[in-house]
Amino acid sequence: MFTNKIILRAAGPCLAAAISLAAQPLKAQTSAESKRIEQLEPEVAELRREVSGNIHAQQARFRSATFTADKVTDQIANEVITSYTRVQSLAGQIATAKQSLSDAAEALRLAQERKEFGVGVVLEMILAQQELSRVRNDYLNIVTDYNKAQYALLRAVGRLPAPLGR
């Protein structure tokens, strides 16, 4: 019923008048009016069919628009959940990468001390330096991904406009 009211409001006064006329039974006072009513009855029936068809078409458009709105809502919710999960995951990876960075720096320090005391070899120190460089690179990549994920989350919740390229 609510949908019919919306459709009638959107269709305008002409359609509303046609519906109200079509819904009322025709009554005759005289025989001339009676003949005129008989002539008009097929036209009224056709008008009723046309109005009914218009209402059904508007209802179908309304259902389609509702479906589209629901689909967009689901897409937005999915994007928000995915972005939030990614931000949380990367935050954990950053904590792990920080620990790895600290461990690699400590390994390099120990390798340098071993070399200074003549116990370690140069290769040990080179390997520790390479490991520290790799861990630093990994840490920077994770931080970059984290920043991108935060941006995607802010965009998904509507705090940032969509990129111009999309």
Handedness of CA 74, 143, 102, 109 (dihedral sign): positive
Q: Is the dihedral of CA 60, 65, 66, 67 positive or negative?
A: positive
**pLDDT per residue as tens digits for the range 93-141:** 999 999 999 999 999 999 999 988 888 888 999 999 999 999 999 999 9
User: Is residue 163 one of the residues assigned to a domain?
Assistant: no
The answer to whether position 165 is within a domain reads no
Boundaries of domain holding 134? 2-156
9 lies in some domain:
yes
Whether residue 166 lies inside any domain: the answer is: no
Residue 57 domain-assigned (yes or no)? yes
Residue 161 lies in a domain: no
- What total of structural domains would you count in the chain? 1
pLDDT tens-digit series, residues 24-72: 555 656 777 777 878 888 888 888 888 888 999 999 999 999 999 999 9
Model confidence pLDDT, tens digit, residues 6-22: 545 555 555 555 555 55
